C-alpha cells in the first residue's frame, strides 16, 4: 500500500461515523476538477503501513472506521489485505472508488469485504471522456454501477461532483438512466481549491444545484445535495 496521506479524524467522510481517512497514491483518471491532484501520480508513501496501524490501534474506542480514499484505492495491489487488517482491528471500512477496477470491486462486494462503498459517477456514459480527462473503460464503470445496485451485502452511495463547464442537464438524464433503483445518489457542488488539477472549473450556484437536484429526483432517482 502506498499511503500518500492520512487525515486523523473526520466527521464528514464516513456517513454517521467517526473515522480517519487514508489517501492512497495514484489514480487512473485525470478529472480536471480533482482536488487531490498532488497524489494522483506515483508519489512516494508519506507513512508506512506499520506506522498507520500503530496509529489506528491507538484510536480503538475513539474512531468507528477508516475511509480509504485516493487517488484510486483499488489500484493498490494489496488493498484487500489492507481492508481485512483494518477490520481485524475492529474498525469499519469505507471505500471511495471511481468504479473503473470492476473485477476487484466485484470481489470486495460479493465477499462483503468492506462496509460501505462510495462510488463516483463522473457523468453520463457519453460524458465520461471529457469529465475524466482521458481514456476510460466506461463499460467497467457501468458494470460497477449495476453491481452495487443489484447486491445487498455492502451499503453504498453514488455521487457526482457537479462542474458547470463539464455537466449539463442532458448528462444528468444519462446518469439517471444508470441509477434507477439505486439506494442513494448525491450531487456535490464543485468548489475551487488551490490543489485543483486544471484551472478554469466552475461550480453551479446553490440555487442551480437545488434545481438540478429536483430535476434528477423528477427522473426517479433518490437524489440529495451535499455541500450546499
Ligand atoms: S477526482 Fe478523478 S483524478 Fe482525482 S482522485 Fe478522483 S478519480 Fe482520480
**pLDDT tens digit sequence for 46-95:** 999 999 999 999 999 999 999 999 999 999 999 999 999 999 999 999 99
Asked if pLDDT for residue 135 goes beyond 90, the answer is no
Q: How far is the CA of 28 from the centre of ligand 1 (A)?
A: 8
Pocket of ligand 1, candidates 40, 74, 118: which has the most ligand atoms within 8 Å of its Cβ, to mutate? 40
Closest ligand 1 atom, CA of 33? 1
Other CB atoms closer than 10 Å to residue 7's CB: what's the count?
A: 14
- The reported pTM is 0.96
Please report, in angstroms and rounded to a whole number, the separation of the first and last CA atoms in the chain: 34
- The span from the CA of 43 to the CA of 128, in Å, is 25
CA 88 / ligand 1 centre spacing (Å): 29
Q: How far apart are CA 92 and CA 177, in angstroms?
A: 31
Pocket of ligand 1 (CB under 6 A): 27, 29-31, 34, 36, 40, 70-72, 98
Instruction: State the DSSP string of 123-158.
Output: S-GGGHHHHHTS---HHHHHHHHHHHHH--SSEEEE
Could you give the CA distance from residue 19 to residue 9 in angstroms, rounded to a whole number? 6
Calculate how far, in angstroms, residue 78's C-alpha sits from the geometric centre of ligand 1: 20
Interval between CA 60 and ligand 1 midpoint (Å): 30
Q: Positive or negative CA dihedral for 17, 4, 155, 111?
A: negative
**166-189 pLDDT, tens per residue?**
999 999 999 999 999 999 999 999
Cis omega before residue 71 (within 30°)? yes
Gap between the Cα atoms of 54 and 52, Å rounded: 5
CA of 61 relative to ligand 1 center, distance in Å: 32
pLDDT of residue 134: 81
Least confident of 3-7, 10-14, 132-136: 132-136
pLDDT class for 42, splitting at 50, 70, 90?
A: confident
- Going by alpha carbons, the residue nearest to atom 2 of ligand 1 is 31
Average pLDDT over residues 207-215: 98
The H or E element spanning position 116 is strand 116-120
Average pLDDT of 15-22?
97
Mean pLDDT (the chain) is 96
With b for 16 or more beta-carbon neighbours within 10 A and e for fewer, the 74-89 pattern comes to bbbeebbebbebbbee
Compute the C-alpha angle 228/197/12, nearest 5°.
35
pLDDT-derived band at 195, boundaries 50, 70, 90? confident
Amino acid at each position: 500500500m502506498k499511503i500518500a496521506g492520512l487525515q486523523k479524524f473526520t466527521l464528514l467522510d464516513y456517513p454517521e461515523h467517526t473515522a480517519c481517512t487514508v489517501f492512497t497514491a495514484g489514480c487512473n483518471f485525470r478529472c480536471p476538477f480533482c482536488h487531490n491532484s498532488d497524489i494522483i501520480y506515483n508519489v512516494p508513501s508519506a507513512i508506512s503501513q506499520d506506522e498507520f496501524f500503530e496509529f489506528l490501534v491507538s484510536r480503538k474506542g475513539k474512531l468507528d472506521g477508516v475511509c480509504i480514499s485516493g487517488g484510486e484505492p483499488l489500484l493498490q495491489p494489496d488493498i484487500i489485505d489492507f481492508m481485512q487488517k483494518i477490520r481485524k482491528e475492529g474498525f469499519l471500512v469505507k471505500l471511495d472508488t471511481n468504479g473503473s477496477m470492476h473485477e476487484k470491486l466485484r470481489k470486495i462486494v460479493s465477499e462483503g469485504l468492506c462496509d460501505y462503498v462510495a462510488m463516483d459517477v463522473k457523468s453520463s456514459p457519453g460524458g465520461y471522456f471529457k469529465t475524466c480527462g482521458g481514456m476510460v473503460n466506461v463499460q467497467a464503470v457501468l458494470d460497477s454501477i449495476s453491481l452495487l445496485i443489484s447486491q445487498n451485502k455492502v451499503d453504498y452511495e453514488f455521487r457526482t461532483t457537479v462542474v458547470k463547464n463539464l455537466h449539463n442537464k442532458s448528462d444528468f438524464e444519462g446518469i439517471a438512466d444508470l441509477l434507477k433503483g439505486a439506494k442513494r445518489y448525491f450531487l456535490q457542488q464543485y468548489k475551487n481549491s488551490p490543489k485543483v488539477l486544471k484551472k478554469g472549473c466552475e461550480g453551479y450556484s446553490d440555487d442551480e444545484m437545488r434545481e438540478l437536484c429536483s430535476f434528477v429526483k423528477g427522473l426517479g432517482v433518490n437524489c440529495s445535495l451535499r455541500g450546499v
